[in-house]
Amino acid sequence: MPRFAANLTLMFTEVPFLDRFGKAAEAGFEAVEFLFPYDFDRNEIAERLKHYNLTQALFNMPPGNWAAGERGMAAIPGREEEFRKNLQTARDYALTLKVPVLHAMAGITRDLDRAACEETFVANMRHAADTLAGDDITVLIEPLNSRDIPGYFVAHQMDAVGWVEKIDRPNVAVQLDLYHAQIMDGDLTRLIERMGERIGHVQIASVPLRNEPDGGETNYPHLYETLDRVGYKGWIGCEYNPRNGTEAGLGWFQPYRRRS
């Protein structure tokens, strides 16, 4: 039985961010995720989670200048000190919010020396994994499709698995966003089977429009069964853009929702 986390960056945007926790709980979600919490006091977020009996499933480490198009720095040479500072900020939030996984965005490396980027990525990810190991937090690598984010460091799921193996830390895994995976890799059933225990978090959206997971070219009920079969026990993040308002599009979720 899949367990879903509402992505509060994209869902329930009809209300201010801190009010989205209550909306998610009212809709029947047991967990939430979002891109970044850093504009808000971590203790205030923790109070919302506690009040609504929600689990924090995931968030990302600081990405650099998001508005300017930056998408992380884990693989960008020369920004190691900034990466480590951001790691400490993310760790503070992670401990307060009791999150089990953190996504370390690799960055757009299209015009950079590939060998240097690879060396930087391995060193930064090992440092992050070692820093968070005692906190029982897993660091995630997420491939992002080259149509939406050209030049991102890693775009294919099995490449991410290769990086997990090269980094060689028990608390590093792949963030499998099935929207990105369908665009770049396809053959999702066999892909999930091949990735197996390397999957540390899952996200969903329809393809190609990134709306509710109830249409497009992916059969999500089948993929939920496949995830169950390979033993995935984590949350499934709903990182999609509602077509016509969040609540109006939650019909797909009714068989899975928490009942009060």
Q: In the chain, helix, strand, coil percent, each to 5? A: 45, 15, 40
Residue type, 151: G
Give the C-alpha separation, 204 to 240, whole Å. Answer: 7
State the catalytic residue, choosing from 30, 33, 212, 239.
239
Is 142 noted as a catalytic residue in this protein?
A: yes
How many of the other CB atoms lie within 10 Å of CB of 216?
Answer: 17
Closest CA to 181 of 207, 150, 201: 207
What is the β-pairing status of strands 101-103 and 31-33?
unpaired
Is 197 noted as a catalytic residue in this protein?
A: no
Q: Are 117 and 83 in contact (CB under 8 A)?
A: no
Give the C-alpha separation, 106 to 139, whole Å. Answer: 12
Helices (H), 52-177: 80-97, 114-133, 157-167
Residue type, 225: E
Give the C-alpha separation, 138 to 171, whole Å. Answer: 4
Contacts of residue 183, Cβ cutoff 8 Å, sequence gap at least 6? 145, 147, 148, 207, 208
State the catalytic residue, choosing from 142, 197, 212, 225.
142
Catalytic residue set: 142, 239
